[in-house]
Structure 1
Amino acid sequence: MALNIITGNKGFVGINLSNYLNKLNKSILGLSRNPNKEEISYNQLNLNVLNKAKSLIHLAGKAHDLKKTSEDKEYFEVNTELTKKLFNQFLESECEVFIYMSSVKAAADTVEGFLTENVTPNPVTVYGKSKLAAEEYILSKEIPKGKRIYILRPCMIHGPNNKGNLNLLFSFVSKGIPYPFGKYINKRSFVSVENLCFIINELIEHKNIKSGVYNIADDVSLSTTDLVKIIGNVINKPAKVLNLPKTIVKIIAKIGDIIPLPVNSERLQKLTENYQVSNQKIKKEIQKELPLSSEKGIEKTIASF
């Protein structure tokens, strides 16, 4: 049975992907800095191991630090240099598929209309720049015959037991606090972890899917007000939406920058911005529908809280 090596297998996506592939009776080997008995360390990865593997799925990375306590070099050490090292080993081996988990933030921090793979990348954050540097290194190399290389740029990933940005909205609705930003009409793309795992498995299995960069998103974008209403339906607590004037909302957010309030300027921006991501390229390649609709995926995540 061909081996599938996963870095970052103890993270949110890694745990879900390992479970998903295990259910399909696929053999998994975790690659970790602190390996348990069933894993190996990065230093133990060699050609003997890689030659037995069909795929090397590189999920490990340094996530965007919202508290801004990380040094820039940490992002490049983990997101760029580690990726280069693993990719070089892959190129020397008989392993067939390399999948690199990048991010839409490697392409753009703000989006007008829909983000496609044709955009000229212009990341603003160090996180995005470190991810893009890894992408550029991978794309600079010639792909040997018989190998396939995929760079995935997922938008915000959610799933059971991973609250992420949905946590604040969940606390609003579950505590009966009215959602005050009804005046903001926005659209955001999300991807359920189940759809992401489905796509990764398709990439491993199908040789006809072309190497390249792919955005990963669910089919339909949702507004934050849509999310609030879905949460209310799932927990049987109808959501209250207030249409406060935007000027008042901005004043409250500015106060939140100074004293601890549930909302500050950064959170207001995240909750009300537009960030729509096109998944047309990957869907055209896999020629299948995603298992979960956007709404069903959100419902599944909320039901797990």
Structure 2
Amino acid sequence: MLKKVLLTGGTGFVGQSVLNRLCSDGMQVLVCSRAPMSVPSGVKHLSVAGLNANTDWKFALDGIEAIIHCAARVHVMNDTSSDPLTEFRKVNVDGTLNLARQAVAAGVSRFIFISSIKVNGEGTVLGMPYHADAQPDPMDPYGISKMEAEQGLRVLADETGMQVVIIRPVLVYGPGVKANFLNMMRWLHKGVPLPFGAIHNRRSLVALDNLIDLIVTCIDHPAAANQTFLVSDGEDLSTTELLRRMGTALGKPARLLPVPSRLLEVGAALLGKQALAQRLCGSLQVDISKTRELLNWTPPVSVDEALAKTAESFLQQR
């Protein structure tokens, strides 16, 4: 197994857990972040001013065998930038490819890029999941920037021989999760009646532990070289099922009203919340058969185990 790893985005939701797993596996780690961070004993930390086309990585790449690139300009729900795509490209495309080119010069063997399911698109027809090697169809600036970074990395791999691995997670949840998933837990914990008792969609999710396990698997698995992988828990849930099972994990049975999803979608449209309605009522499924078969990988944590761990962390922090 490769032993010396550079991890970017070490303060992020995914990056922190990757760091902990690498340390527990006994790897030598250099972690980079913009913000100050405490690191486990034996881990080296390097502060990086930013991720762009001009970032100098030469002091970080000496002896590095693999890079796990988690750092990114993340998806912004209400972006106020006048040109969001340009801003995403500066970090997610230019910054990523600049790091990758310097990695080639330094002799790095493998570059693992944490991309996004948004490269595939925003939603699927029920029962027709996305596949890893399907034609990309990003719909927003974030997804476009991730796709362009992937394309640039593949060209670099072809030209130089550095192995590139691309991982596209779906929505990631686990201890410390934020945004809509955290709001969902707050509603359930308070016993708020929710109008989501009759939604029959299917959405793929991925527990943080499952994503981290796949990332670590890809560090030196021979079959991972120059491949793109989708990752999920392997069990798709409707919004209604997710709320019920999360309520069980919290010890607060979900109070769900059976409002038809079509009515919810109309109401959301009137309020200008179409994107939220899509996430709550629409389907987004992924087929992870390539990931399973090529890597002989199975998600090690079940949905209910992961929800229980997420709920426990939520309750402890209250």
TM-score, normalised via structure 2 length:
0.86
Matches within 5 A, 1:174-253: 174-246=189-261, 248-250=263-265, 252-253=267-268
Aligned match of 2:143: 128
Higher mean alpha-carbon deviation, 291-300 vs 77-86, is at 291-300
Q: Deviations over 1:29-82 (max 9, x none)?
A: 112345668324374521x74241121111111111101213321100001000
2-structure distance, mates of 1:175, 1:2: 46
Q: How many residues align?
A: 297
SS state of the match for residue 238, structure 1?
coil
Answer yes or no: is 1:97 the counterpart of 2:110. Answer: yes
- Paired with 2:263 and 2:218, the residues of 1 have a C-alpha distance of 48
Q: Which residue of structure 2 lines up, in the alignment, with residue 261 of structure 1?
A: none
AA partner of residue 63 (structure 1): V
- State how far apart, in whole Å, the 1-side matches of 2:250 and 2:151 are: 44
Alignment correspondent of 2:167: 152
Q: Secondary structure at the match of 1:214?
A: strand
2:29 corresponds in structure 1 to 28
Compute the RMSD of aligned alpha carbons: 2.1
Q: Does the 8 Å CA contact 2:122/2:138 hold for their aligned counterparts?
A: yes
Q: TM-score w.r.t. structure 1 length? A: 0.90
Residue deviations 1:248-278, cap 9 Å, x none?
Answer: 4345435544xxxxxx433222111100011
Q: Which amino acid letter does the alignment assign opposite residue 300 of structure 2? A: P
Q: 1:150 to 1:282 in 2, by over 3 A?
A: same
User: Is the contact made by 2:198 and 2:240 (CA closer than 8 Å) also made in structure 1?
Assistant: no
**168-177 or 61-70, which moves further after superposition?**
168-177
Deviations 1:196-224 (A, max 9, x none): 11111111132343321111211111111
Aligned to 2:295: 286
- Which sits farther off after the overlay, 35-44 or 105-114? 35-44
The answer on 1:107 being equivalent to 2:108 is no
Q: Note closer, same or farther for the CA distance 1:170–1:34 as it changes in structure 2 (3 Å cut).
A: closer
User: Partners of 2:285 and 2:201 in 1: how far apart?
Assistant: 9
Structure 2 unaligned regions, length at least 5: 38-43
CA gap 1:143/1:40 in 2 versus in 1, 3 angstroms: farther
The answer on whether the counterparts of 1:115 and 1:278 sit within 8 Å (CA) in structure 2 is yes
Query: Is 1:297 the counterpart of 2:306 in the alignment?
Result: yes
Kept after mapping to 1: 8 A contact 2:202/2:238: yes
The alignment status of 1:274 with 2:283, answered yes or no, reads yes
- Where in structure 2 are the equivalents of 1:46-85 lying within 5 Å? 46=58, 49-70=60-81, 71-72=83-84, 73-85=86-98
- Sequence identity (%): 29
SS in 2 for 1:50: coil
**CA offset digits 1:107-128 (Å, max 9, x no partner):** 2122221100132111110111
